């Protein structure tokens, strides 16, 4: 018995000494950053997705693009292409590649050569050329490229010499460069792809990624973490840390607690109001105005949502002001259009989605529906446009009950959720979008065109030939005034048809420890750790 | 003893048999293709016809069951529907991680609960006895999930002593091989093993503490009552009359006999801990069986759901068997009682 007491005392002494150590942080902790991401990536190749979680996890970290977009200067800047020129009246773009760009060298692949035109050609043909061997790998669906029509726009990619590549377009398009600068138009290694083909494991190109980006892949465990390490031969200024870990933490409360306990260095989508209430000195909250919209989409291919009157009635039943206050804590703007007010094509004249339950009741009666039972699909993850879809769905549920519509809330794990959405299993869904580039087209074609119905990006399954016509006319012209007029007519048409109800444009927030710097949250695209550094405790005291 | 052993073993085998029948029939109760539910291979995958063949998909149900048993006992539990990893390998890792937590918690519960129980019994109806017993009542009644929140608030948020998720800071680069974090730290090729070990200890303290409290309080009460009962027995009086010190009376006479009654309850204790471990693992993101099961239910990952359920039930059955066998061996009176009731 005495022995037992002694043991207990010894154990507790050990524990107490453990948690009060004042020694400097061990090297692995001082040289690494933990980012507590909100979900699992679907794949490690952003060409295959439009999901923000996947883009955050992969695009800016593992890969580079031909050109980048500098949001501050509002211009395109060279990346893998050191310069480019426009030929043949805007139907041919010539890119001159930078020399000596090294791909990642990892346990599963050692590159023998630097980046060449062949890699660029391969990367584009992956999604462009249906006869390419890699096109069908991992499902063969490239939603961003088919939704933006880039796969129809580009005729072919031609290798001029080792370091020069031409992209030939079917017609001049004002949004082409903007699309090339997005997180999706990344460059893969053709040599790696060839090696995988020889080994008969082509699907690994998206699971064990190789790119030219600032970090290289180490490993991934679903629901637990993604581990990256610094790419030592990165071609431009790289990060000041050795390791980057994505610790997957879907629960927003837990993410915040982990930030407070220091288990996370950075978290996306913090519960801003609660974090401010904690008032911790070592934490800072940053936000970025980001072009996004959250909306409530009706599955217009299902009864009774094929009737615009029903859609309008349901829209009038929703108290969106209350949603802004309750879900976004006021950190968002009430959406009057699918376009955010910062877009040059924004127009709110005559667009009114007001809260009018009585009118909603009347409209519903006129449409001939008294007892409506619907499902609201609420996404299980936080996105920049919607911090808490389930809670939002609950608010809407009670709003709808006011007009005699009973709603059931449906939710699945994020990947399952989106797979089922693409199959059109939902009645209505709470989801949203944020822009990948500065062009207003990015809010329309990926979301509401007929082409997007086929790729599953059109959550309303809404295909309106007149609307499509407006969108295609708008990209065919380069005159801003004409484009503006066309986009305004498109917004009016949307207001009449209401395949979806825009809810809010939110600000994107992230919270981090004070000693982390250089993590960028570009307005277009995912989080970027390229210049991330962590200052140690000693630096701070000086 | 042989008769006792045979009796216990046959009960165990029958229970395991019923368990496998249950988990086998789950494949038919879950929606979708039973072969997919068993193996995690979907019907459009190229390996599906082979799997169908191997699992006797076209034959009668009894043959299918035999195939199922064969797969089960050769560790061929199919693959996860959500990410295609082999269920058995994953299961073992999660099992070990859970066991690490549960065994440590059990140790804490026993080393603190039993002595406190004896202490309370020896001060029967005195102030310190009442204090300990009230504490035990409170500790036993507090729901685990709420207790966990309180402990996190106090130790992690206010005091900042302990982290709240996972087994270790991921920056140490310790990859799971066995599932037990302490073994994994030793197996890893990290240059900072000492720091990593310290970090792992910091991570395990809170979950172990929370998981240990309820069984500790239960043990305390059981031990107190059993010891108290023993202290009333005539042989204790006789021992005291022979002039033994109170300490010797307790340690040599009362406690060994009291333990028998307590040991009988440990099976209950164990299943209680296993249930609580699901809650604790979910709260602390501990990569154990409970966490695994909850996540698989959320993702409708049928091969994992049935394997996890099977493992939980099997572990409880097996532990029961062990305790009963030990009990029968250590306390012959138990065996005789068993025969008498038949």
Instruction: Give the pLDDT mean for A235-251.
Output: 90
CB B258 within 8 A of CB B223: yes
Q: Is pLDDT at B270 greater than 80 in this prediction?
A: yes
The most confident of the ranges A261-265, A341-345, A507-511 is A261-265
Cα distance from B19 to chain A (closest Cα, Å)? 29
Q: Is pLDDT at A17 greater than 60 in this prediction?
A: no
Residue of higher predicted confidence among B57 and B239: B239
Please check whether residue B24 touches A, CB under 8 A: no
Quick: pLDDT tens for B176-210. 888 888 888 888 887 888 888 988 999 999 999 99
Rounded percentage of chain A residues whose pLDDT exceeds 90 = 28
CB A309 within 8 A of CB A363: yes
Q: Is pLDDT at B55 greater than 70 in this prediction?
A: yes
Identify the band that residue B337 occupies on the pLDDT scale cut at 50, 70 and 90.
low
* Closest CA in chain A for residue B193: A26
Quick: pLDDT tens for A457-488. 888 899 999 999 998 888 887 777 888 889 88
Instruction: Give the pLDDT mean for B294-306.
Output: 88
pLDDT given at position B206:
93
Burial call B63-102: b when 16+ CB within 10 Å, e when fewer? ebeebbeebbeeeebbbbbbbeebbbebbebbbbbbbbbb
Residue of higher predicted confidence among B94 and A11: B94
Please check whether residue A419 touches B, CB under 8 A: no
pLDDT given at position A30:
84
Among A223, A248, A390, the residue to mutate for chain B (most B Cβ within 10 A): A223
Identify the band that residue B159 occupies on the pLDDT scale cut at 50, 70 and 90.
confident
Q: In chain A, what residues touch B295 (CB-CB under 8 Å)?
A: 223
Please check whether residue B294 touches A, CB under 8 A: no
Burial call B171-205: b when 16+ CB within 10 Å, e when fewer? bbbbebeebbbbebbeebebebeebbbbbbbbbbb
The most confident of the ranges A64-73, A337-346, B275-284 is B275-284
Strands A283-289, A516-517: parallel, antiparallel or unpaired by DSSP? unpaired
pLDDT given at position A94:
92
B95: phi then psi, degrees, rounded to nearest 5: -60, -50
pLDDT given at position B13:
93
Q: Is pLDDT at A542 greater than 50 in this prediction?
A: no
End-to-end CA, chain B: 15
CB B206 within 8 A of CB B175: no
pLDDT given at position A35:
93
Inter-chain touch B157–A257, beta carbons under 8 Å:
yes
Report chain B's mean pLDDT, rounded to a whole number: 87
Quick: pLDDT tens for A486-495. 988 888 888 8
Inter-chain touch A245–B170, beta carbons under 8 Å:
yes
Inter-chain touch B82–A222, beta carbons under 8 Å:
yes
Identify the band that residue B338 occupies on the pLDDT scale cut at 50, 70 and 90.
low
Instruction: Give the pLDDT mean for B95-99.
Output: 92
Q: How far is CA A31 from the centre of its chain?
A: 27
- Report the residue from B111, B152, B251 with minimal CB separation from A7: B111
Q: Is pLDDT at A9 greater than 70 in this prediction?
A: no
pLDDT given at position A10:
52
Rounded percentage of chain B residues whose pLDDT exceeds 70 = 98
pLDDT given at position A1:
44
Q: How far is CA A272 from the centre of its chain?
A: 20
Which residues, listed in sequence order, are joined to residue A361 by a DSSP beta bridge? none
Q: In chain B, what residues touch A29 (CB-CB under 8 Å)?
A: 169, 171-172
Its ipTM equals 0.81
Quick: pLDDT tens for A23-43. 567 778 888 999 999 888 989
Quick: pLDDT tens for A426-453. 999 999 887 877 778 888 888 888 888 8
Instruction: Give the pLDDT mean for A517-534.
Output: 84
Q: Is pLDDT at B19 greater than 60 in this prediction?
A: yes
d(CA A3, CA A12): 14
Task: Specify the range with the lowest mean pLDDT, choosing from A252-256, A304-308, A413-417, A533-537.
Answer: A533-537
d(CA B261, CA B315): 22
* Closest CA in chain B for residue A30: B171
Residue of higher predicted confidence among A435 and B216: B216
Instruction: Give the pLDDT mean for B307-319.
Output: 91
Q: Mention every residue, 6+ apart, whose C-beta is less than 8 A from residue B183.
A: B177
- Report the residue from A28, A257, A261 with minimal CB separation from B192: A28
pLDDT given at position A351:
66
Quick: pLDDT tens for A289-324. 678 899 999 999 988 888 888 998 899 999 998 888
């Amino acid at each position: 018995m005495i022995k037992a007491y002694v043991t207990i005392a010894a154990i507790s002494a050990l524990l107490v000494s453990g948690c009060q150590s004042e020694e400097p942080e061990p090297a692995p902790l001082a040289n690494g950053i933990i980012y507590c991401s909100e979900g699992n990536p679907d794949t490690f190749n952003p060409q295959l997705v439009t999901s923000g979680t996947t883009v955050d996890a992969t695009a800016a970290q593992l890969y580079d693009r031909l050109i980048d977009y500098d949001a501050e200067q509002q211009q395109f800047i060279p990346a893998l292409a050191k310069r480019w020129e426009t030929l043949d009246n805007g139907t041919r773009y010539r890119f001159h590649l930078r020399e000596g760009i090294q791909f990642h060298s990892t346990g599963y692949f050692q590159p023998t050569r630097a980046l060449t035109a062949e890699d660029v050609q391969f990367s584009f043909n992956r999604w462009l050329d249906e006869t390419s061997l890699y096109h069908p790998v991992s499902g063969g669906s490239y939603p961003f490229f088919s939704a933006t029509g880039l796969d129809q726009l580009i005729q072919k990619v031609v290798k001029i010499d080792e370091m020069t590549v031409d992209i030939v377009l079917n017609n001049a398009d004002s949004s082409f460069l903007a699309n090339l600068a997005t997180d999706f138009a990344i460059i893969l290694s053709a040599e790696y792809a060839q090696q995988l083909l020889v080994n008969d494991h082509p699907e690994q190109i998206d699971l064990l990624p190789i790119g030219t980006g600032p970090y290289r892949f180490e490993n991934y465990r679903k629901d637990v973490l993604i581990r990256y390490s610094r790419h030592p031969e990165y071609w431009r200024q790289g990060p000041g840390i050795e390791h980057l870990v994505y610790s997957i933490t879907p629960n927003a409360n837990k993410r915040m607690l982990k930030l407070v306990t220091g288990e996370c260095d950075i978290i996306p989508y913090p519960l801003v109001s609660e974090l401010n209430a904690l008032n911790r000195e070592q934490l800072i909250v940053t936000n970025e105005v980001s072009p996004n919209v959250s909306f409530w989409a009706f599955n217009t291919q299902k009864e009774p949502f094929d009737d615009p009157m029903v859609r309008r009635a349901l829209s009038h039943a929703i108290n969106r002001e209350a949603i802004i206050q309750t879900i976004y804590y006021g950190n968002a703007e009430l959406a009057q259009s699918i376009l955010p007010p910062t877009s040059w094509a924004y127009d709110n004249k005559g667009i009114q989605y007001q809260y009018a339950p009585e009118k909603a009741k009347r409209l519903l009666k006129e449409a001939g529906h008294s007892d409506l039972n619907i499902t609201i699909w609420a996404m299980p993850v936080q996105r920049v446009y919607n911090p808490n879809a389930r809670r939002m769905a609950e608010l809407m549920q009670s709003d709808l009950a006011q007009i005699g519509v009973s709603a059931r809330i449906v939710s699945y794990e994020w990947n399952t959720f989106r797979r089922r959405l693409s199959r059109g299993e939902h009645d209505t869904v709470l989801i949203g979008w944020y822009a990948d580039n500065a062009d207003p087209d990015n809010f329309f074609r990926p979301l509401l065109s007929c082409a997007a119905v086929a790729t599953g990006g059109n959550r309303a399954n809404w295909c309106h030939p007149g609307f499509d016509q407006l969108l295609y006319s708008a990209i065919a012209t380069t005159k801003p005034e004409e484009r503006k007029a066309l986009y305004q007519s498109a917004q009016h048409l949307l207001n009449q048809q209401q395949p979806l109800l825009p809810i809010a444009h939110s600000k994107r927030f992230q919270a981090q420890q004070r000693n982390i710097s250089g993590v960028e949250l570009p307005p277009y695209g995912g989080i970027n750790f390229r210049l991330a550094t962590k200052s140690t405790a000693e630096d701070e005291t000086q | 003893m042989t008769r006792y052993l045979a009796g216990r073993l046959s009960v165990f085998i029958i229970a395991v048999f019923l368990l496998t029948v249950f988990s086998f029939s789950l494949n038919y109760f879950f929606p979708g293709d039973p072969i997919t539910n068993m193996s995690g291979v979907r019907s459009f995958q190229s390996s599906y016809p082979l799997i169908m063949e191997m699992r006797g998909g076209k034959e009668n149900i009894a043959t299918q069951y035999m195939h199922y048993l064969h797969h089960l006992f050769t560790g061929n539990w199919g693959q996860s529907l959500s990410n295609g990893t082999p269920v058995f390998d994953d299961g073992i890792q999660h099992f070990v991680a859970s066991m690490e937590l549960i065994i440590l918690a059990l140790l804490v519960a026993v080393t603190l609960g039993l002595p406190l129980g004896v202490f309370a019994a020896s001060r029967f109806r005195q102030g310190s006895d009442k204090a300990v017993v009230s504490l035990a009542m409170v500790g036993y009644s507090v729901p685990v999930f709420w207790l966990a929140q309180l402990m996190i608030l106090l130790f992690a948020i206010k005091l900042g002593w302990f982290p709240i998720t996972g087994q270790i800071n991921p920056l140490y680069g310790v990859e799971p091989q066995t599932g037990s974090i302490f073994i994994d730290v030793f197996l890893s090729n990290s240059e900072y093993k000492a720091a990593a070990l310290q970090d792992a200890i910091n991570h395990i303290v809170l979950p172990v503490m929370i998981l240990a409290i309820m069984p500790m309080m239960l043990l305390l009460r059981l031990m107190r009552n059993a010891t108290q009962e023993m202290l009333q027995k005539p042989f204790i009086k006789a021992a005291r009359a022979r002039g033994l010190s109170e300490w010797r009376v307790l340690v040599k006479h009362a406690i060994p006999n009291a333990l028998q009654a307590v040991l009988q309850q440990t099976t209950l204790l164990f299943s209680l801990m296993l249930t609580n471990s699901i809650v604790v693992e979910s709260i602390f993101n501990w990569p154990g069986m409970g966490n695994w099961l909850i996540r698989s239910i959320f993702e409708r990952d049928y091969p994992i759901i049935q394997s996890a359920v099977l493992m939980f039930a099997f572990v409880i059955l097996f532990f029961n068997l062990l305790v009963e066998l030990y009990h029968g061996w250590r306390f012959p009176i138990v065996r005789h009682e068993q025969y008498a009731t038949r």
